[in-house]
Amino acid sequence: MDLKIICVFLFLIVSVIVFHSEFIGADTKSNNYKEFTNKTIIGKLNPDPNSLVEAYSNGAYLSSYSIPEANDLIIKDGNWTINKLSEQHPEIIEKIKPQDSKETFFVKRSILIDKGATLNILNSSILFKSLSSKDNNPAVLITYGRTNIINSTVKSWDQENNRPDPNPYHPRSFLVAKNGGQMNVIGSQISYLGFSLGGVHTLESSLAALDYYNTSQFIITNSTLDNNLYGFYSDESSKFKLIGNEIFANVGYGLDPHSGSKDFIIDSNHIFANGGQGIICSFRCKNMTVSNNIVEFNIEGIGLHWLTNSSIVKNNVVKYNKGYGIYIKTSSNDNILEHNSVLGNGNGIGLLDNSNRNAIKSNILIGNLLDEAQIHQDEDSQLNFIEGNNYDSK
């Protein structure tokens, strides 16, 4: 009996070691995706719940798609256009009848742009294969090198129904830049991308149409992000600019710079009718500037959340959002809100959940319905400077 117990115990130890070894590269060796194989458990579409919990609790990145699979297109070097790629690989990138007077390409498999390669998508319509079935394995674009999307449209495409894939709750195409990869979007429309599997939000690169992990110095400008799960998501990314875009009708957040994102600018965007916050910066974000935006008709307007520090929100018009127009929440300190117009929201400005040493000055707050004071400060939010705000209708 004791021998059986010992054998079972040794088997469990070996199983844990094997299991852990399959995950360890996702965190410590993420710069070298070639070390993974298609049998790696985190490459599966539907890892079992216990595997998800154990991997995530050990700091692994859980990516269904950042590991190349058989027949995916890996571009190791060179300067490519989507048209040139289609000529070289018509079985993966099919040129089809034009949409919107643009050359149109149907992408059937995922494309990975390696560190030595550049992909230019210019004046084109790109349709990423994304079917309506639950176990759909969509095509995605993964950039470790450089991708420029200019004057183009990019969307998921359900060829069976001849339409974009409207379902954000099963696997659907998305675009991701990782580990120094640079993906710029200029004068383009990005639609019907991003997904959540059963409400699990730990699958890397899945939630937003445009995802940036551990990268910097990219720009998204004069573009439209609409009808995605989230419009934009970043993690440990810096020195980027989101300027002059329209972000609307996304299921969740419009813009979601996250986890350690810093030193970036969100300026002159129109962000409206999203199902979550128009802009939310959460978990260790710092030194951002959110300025000159119109943020309206979202669940909430602008949120600085969970250790988001040393940032400035200024000259924005934030109106007709269901909850707070602007809030600073969960130990977010040393931020400045100034010269914003906060109009007709459920609540005006909130200082919430141990957020301290923030300056709220020279804002206009009118008609925010749920709090007569217009600026709400929790008892555990201390040493905030509130001065020169205008609460009347003049």
Q: Where are the domains of the chain?
A: 2-57, 71-239, 252-394
Q: Is the pLDDT of residue 394 over 50?
A: no
Phi, psi at 163, each rounded to 5°: -160, 165
As a whole number of angstroms, the distance between CA 165 and CA 48 comes to: 25
Q: Which residues does residue 262 pair with via DSSP β-bridges, in sequence order?
A: 238, 286
Burial of 23 (0-12, 13-18, 19+ CB in 10 A): buried
pLDDT tier at 37 (50, 70, 90 boundaries)? very low
Q: Which of 96-105, 159-168, 338-347 has the highest mean pLDDT?
A: 338-347
Looking at residue 63, its pLDDT comes to 44
Give me the helices (H) in 248-333, please. none
Q: Is the pLDDT of residue 45 over 70?
A: no
Q: Output the pTM of the full model.
A: 0.84
Q: Is the pLDDT of residue 220 over 70?
A: yes
As a whole number of angstroms, the distance between CA 362 and CA 266 comes to: 20
pLDDT in tens, 105-152: 999 999 999 999 999 999 999 999 998 877 778 899 999 999 999 999
pLDDT over 70, % of the chain: 79
pLDDT in tens, 229-274: 999 999 999 999 999 999 999 999 999 999 899 999 999 999 999 9
Q: Closest by alpha carbon to 269, among 310, 219, 235?
A: 219
Phi, psi at 279, each rounded to 5°: -130, 125
- What's the mean pLDDT in 366-394? 90
DSSP string, 226-258: ESSSEEEEEES-BS-EEES-EEE--SS-SEEEE
Q: DSSP letter at 267?
A: E
Looking at residue 49, its pLDDT comes to 56
Looking at residue 33, its pLDDT comes to 33
Mean pLDDT for the chain?
84
Looking at residue 137, its pLDDT comes to 81
Say if CB 77 and CB 116 are below 8 A apart: yes
pLDDT tier at 48 (50, 70, 90 boundaries)? low
Q: Which residues does residue 233 pair with via DSSP β-bridges, in sequence order?
A: 211, 256
- What's the mean pLDDT in 166-193? 94
Helix H or strand E encompassing 20: helix 2-28
Q: Is the pLDDT of residue 40 over 80?
A: no
Across 175-209, b (16+ Cβ under 10 Å) vs e yields: bbbbbbbbbbbeebbbbbbbbbbeeeeebbbbbbb
pLDDT in tens, 49-89: 565 555 444 444 434 455 567 789 999 999 999 999 999 99
Q: Closest by alpha carbon to 67, among 22, 104, 97, 108?
A: 22
Helix H or strand E encompassing 278: strand 277-282
221 token code pair: 């400008």
Angle at 310 between CA 305 and CA 312, to 5 degrees: 85
How many residues are given for the chain? 394
Looking at residue 2, its pLDDT comes to 54
Looking at residue 26, its pLDDT comes to 30
- What's the mean pLDDT in 86-105? 92
Q: Closest by alpha carbon to 33, among 54, 53, 63, 55?
A: 63
52 token code pair: 């998800």
Say if CB 185 and CB 221 are below 8 A apart: yes
Looking at residue 67, its pLDDT comes to 57
Looking at residue 205, its pLDDT comes to 44
DSSP string, 104-169: EEEE-S-EEEEEEEEEEEESEEEEEE--SSTT-----EEESSEEEEES-EEEEEBTTTTB----TT
Q: Closest by alpha carbon to 203, among 249, 165, 235, 242?
A: 235
As a whole number of angstroms, the distance between CA 220 and CA 147 comes to: 12
pLDDT in tens, 5-16: 444 343 333 333
Helix H or strand E encompassing 350: strand 347-352
- What architecture is the 71-239 domain classified under in CATH? 3 Solenoid (2.160)
Give, to the nearest 10 degrees, the angle between helix 2-28 and helix 49-57.
60
Looking at residue 169, its pLDDT comes to 86
Looking at residue 200, its pLDDT comes to 54
